[in-house]
Amino acid sequence: MDPRIERAAAGDREAAQAVLTELQPRVRNLVRYLIRGDRDVEDLTQHALIDILRGLPSYRGDAPLKRWADRVTVRSTLSRIKRRRAQDARQAELSTQLHAVPPAEDGTRYLARRELAQRLDTLPEQQRQALVLHYLLELTVPEVAETLQVPFDTAKSRIRLAMQKLRQAHAAQGGGQHA
């Protein structure tokens, strides 16, 4: 295992800061792909990074750190979304103020990510989450089903329906047959 990760897991602040700084753009993008809109991206990203830091002592190094961090991010984000949904139902107040995600690299890649996020915004939440896990994180359908805690056929159906909707939207915009 990377000594920097071991030091971070043992409580070395500088090592932890370096690890989290390296992971932050990836975590932010994954959070953005999992949720609708920009409003909560920074907040959920910070929570995911905290969960990653807290979980570092349990990281065994069996898989690459980024893959492990992706799973922690997904669990953290979906858990917080569920909690917030319950809070929103109790409070019945929604904020519509949006905050743009600042570009981390050149504008072309930023615009491509923004376009992807906007296309994902058109999907129902459950289909969006399944699609992100399968195509962006490259989880197998059984892994998607396990992560989302749904039956295999449900996960497979959500992925298929999401792709079908994206293809239809792309074709309607004059994009041809492929999405």
Q: 78 is in which domain, residue-wise?
A: 1-92
Query: What are the pLDDT tens digits along the chain (179 aa)?
Result: 788 999 999 989 999 999 999 999 999 999 999 988 888 899 999 999 999 999 999 998 888 999 999 999 999 999 988 887 776 665 543 333 333 344 455 567 777 778 888 888 889 999 999 988 998 888 999 999 999 999 999 999 999 999 998 888 878 876 654 44
Let me know whether 1 and 86 are in one domain.
yes
Considering the domain architecture, whether residues 66 and 135 belong to the same structural domain is answered as no
**Which CATH number is 134's domain given?**
1.10.10.10
- Which alpha helices (DSSP H) does the chain contain, by range? 3-9, 13-34, 41-55, 65-91, 107-121, 125-131, 141-148, 152-172
Contact 76, 48 (CB under 8 A): yes
Q: What is the CATH number of the domain that holds 67?
A: 1.10.1740.10
d(C-alpha 56, C-alpha 65), whole Å: 9
In degrees and rounded to multiples of 5, residue 95 shows phi and psi of -95, 135
49 token code pair: 């990074």
Q: 4 in a domain, yes or no? A: yes
Domain boundary among 69, 92, 115: 92
Is 158 contained in some domain?
yes
pTM above 0.85, yes or no: no
